[in-house]
Amino acid sequence: MPNKNNERSDNKSLEWVISPRGFILQANGRSCIIKVEDLDSLDIKATALELGVEPKDVFRAKCEIHSFINGFRPSLPVPEEVKGFWNELSFEERLEAIAHMDPQINMLWEEGVRRGWISEVDDAKKLSVGQRAEILTGIILSRFRFVKVNFSGKSTGKYELYALDGNMLRDAENVIDTCVNSMAGYLASKNLISEVESRVMSKARHISSDKINPPEYLPVKNGIISLRYFEFVPQCDYYFTYRVPIEVDPEFLRMLREGKITEDYFSNSVVYKVRRHYDQENWEYLLDVLGSILAPIPLRLMAFIVGPQATGKTLLAEAVKACLGQGIASPSLKDLQQDPFALQSAIGARAIITSETVYAIKEVEVLKRLVGGDTLSINRKHKPRIELSNNTLKIICFSNKLPPIDIKDDALLDRISIVQAEDPIPEEERDSTLLAKVKSKEERWKTFEFLLYCAWELKQRDYRLRRLDQENILKLVDEASNPIAWFFEYVAEDLEVRTKRTVMWSYYVEICRKREVEPVSRNKFYVLMGRRYPVVKVRGEYYFKGVRPKTSAELELGDNS
């Protein structure tokens, strides 16, 4: 039967009318019924043959029906209590308002009647799940935009759906679930939500995964900053999974570009209090490590900030994490080497910052790959693996001691930077409130400006990192990796002498007893000493060449120096 508006096509050779069963196409005394959900997949040639008309006539009728449907598609109503300031609400606030909206069952019924799916005397419950989903999909799309992404890097990979909030990617499942439950009321179900998600997915625009979280741009509360030019960009065709919760003053960026920002600008900030713990050389190393976090390129950096307690390491780590939010991931070094899902938190992050007790680094290939700039393959729980091509990760570890590192080649050595903190704060001078202060809104803003300053200064040197030379890094790593490294302070190097291994072993055990240190096994001691001093065999006896125990006078002199 024709619909109550008596909608018909103007095509003389083919006409269409609305009936409770769908759209009826009529020509030459023949007819066929097309359901709304089947309209997009309509076989134009077969339908034309069935009705005895030209394919172009069926195509025109299809276009007319599409225009009719789209022209009367209902939109998601704005809740009455927020109607006056709806456009001023954030994405989360709009969803919250929708969640508390009264069910719109009558809207579903009216649309079902208009489309001819049910009659005016029917209840909305008579609509099938598919019909409800079709109506709700149109309503949701009237207020929200969606995109889909294939992170797998394969053409057969599964798409993931996101809702758009400007350039921000939001949880599409939450949006759809909220809208369906709010609007459909007692008609909502898991099957209905699943149907709507499927239909939204089919209509969503595809975007490439390399358009997400590009390293050269950083979203903040009041816009998007180019980290190549250190200025706000009016718009960009990229998308982000998080926003740094900081509002940046454009005037600060201008002054930074013009060279008017110096370290003195930050002297009153809490984060700058760590300056006292570094000599000039190590301070420069630290500034470059901090600058690397916002660098838009891979720098192959694995930095270790080491020093005794009360040297501001925790304060600095927490300050950076507080201001960058999701831009920092914090899996432990142990998890990075052992947990296949540890990297999931690093998706979109700019750096991994970890503060922990010493843990030996044995899976060096894993860590080399993380900071090497190559595409990362990241496992996710209950989701497909992600191929992360925009990899500019840096690893920064804050620790009291340098962890033992199994260096097997120069490739790892090239990635390491060691920054040494010193001068612990006496207990009576320590301020227990600093950790809370550095997380305040004002101090987070100052910390972020400090990071921008460090990144800008690093950029001016073409991202050439200042760090210890390889010889000294290797020496520090060797000491950290050698459980008897402390013992070398008790021996004297002399190229003209050699000492029996058994004599050196007895001397080592005696020193361990005096220091109340558990000695390593005899065989391990021989191996560790042999790494540093050559072993020679003379008349059946083994000797360490070029080393001897220190004399009592030498030991006493060392204690007094």
Which of 303-307, 419-423, 498-502, 555-559 has the least mean pLDDT?
555-559
More confident residue, 356 or 120: 120
CA-CA distance, 471 to 221, in Å (whole number)?
A: 44
pLDDT of residue 279: 97
Compute the C-alpha angle 264/461/277, nearest 5°.
45
User: Is the dihedral angle over the CA atoms 273, 276, 281, 285 positive or is it negative?
Assistant: negative
Of 40, 108, 41, 47, nearest to 74 by C-alpha is 108
Of 422, 448, 546, nearest to 494 by C-alpha is 546
CA-CA distance, 242 to 62, in Å (whole number)?
A: 42
**CB 454, CB 288: distance < 8 Å:** yes
Global pTM? 0.78
- Banded pLDDT at 9 (limits 50, 70, 90): very low
pLDDT of 6 over the 50 cut? no
Residue with tokens 């910052």: 353
Which of 67-81, 121-135, 168-182, 202-216 has the least mean pLDDT?
67-81
551: tokens are 């004399």
pLDDT of residue 92: 94
Over residues 181-230, the pLDDT tens digits come to 999 999 999 999 999 999 999 999 999 999 999 999 999 999 999 999 99
40: tokens are 């997009």
Where in the sequence of the chain do the CATH 1.10.10.10 domains occur? 482-560
Q: What is the DSSP letter of 510?
A: H
CA-CA distance, 398 to 406, in Å (whole number)?
A: 19
64: tokens are 């007319």
- Banded pLDDT at 7 (limits 50, 70, 90): very low
Over residues 230-270, the pLDDT tens digits come to 999 988 889 999 999 999 999 999 999 999 999 999 999 99
More confident residue, 131 or 3: 131
Where in the sequence of the chain do the CATH 3.40.50.300 domains occur? 250-476
Question: What percent of the chain is helix, strand and coil (3-state, nearest 5)?
Answer: 45, 20, 35
pLDDT of residue 360: 63
- Banded pLDDT at 4 (limits 50, 70, 90): very low
Cα separations (Å) of 400 from 301, 307, 422? 20, 5, 11
pLDDT of residue 540: 92
pLDDT of residue 356: 65
Over residues 464-501, the pLDDT tens digits come to 999 999 889 988 888 787 889 889 989 999 999 999 99
Q: Which CATH fold would you assign to the domain 482-560?
A: Arc Repressor Mutant, subunit A (1.10.10)
In 10 A of CB 450, how many CB atoms? 23
Compute the C-alpha angle 276/281/285, nearest 5°.
90
- Banded pLDDT at 1 (limits 50, 70, 90): very low
Q: What is the mean pLDDT of residues 262-280?
A: 97
Of 38, 44, 102, nearest to 69 by C-alpha is 38
pLDDT of residue 205: 92
Average pLDDT, the chain: 89
3-state secondary structure 445-497: HHHHHHHHHHHHHHHHCCCCCCCCCHHHHHHHHHHHHCCCHHHHHHEEEEEEE
Residue with tokens 């600058």: 291
- Banded pLDDT at 144 (limits 50, 70, 90): very high
Q: Where are the beta strands (DSSP E) in 107-254?
A: 145-149, 160-165, 168-171, 205-207, 217-220, 223-226, 231-233
Domain at 250-476, CATH from 3.50.50.60, 3.40.250.10, 3.40.50.300, 3.90.1150.10: 3.40.50.300
What long-range pairs does 327-332 form, CB within 8 A, spacing at least 24? 327/218, 327/242, 327/244, 327/293, 327/351, 328/293, 328/352, 328/353, 329/353, 330/354, 332/356, 332/359
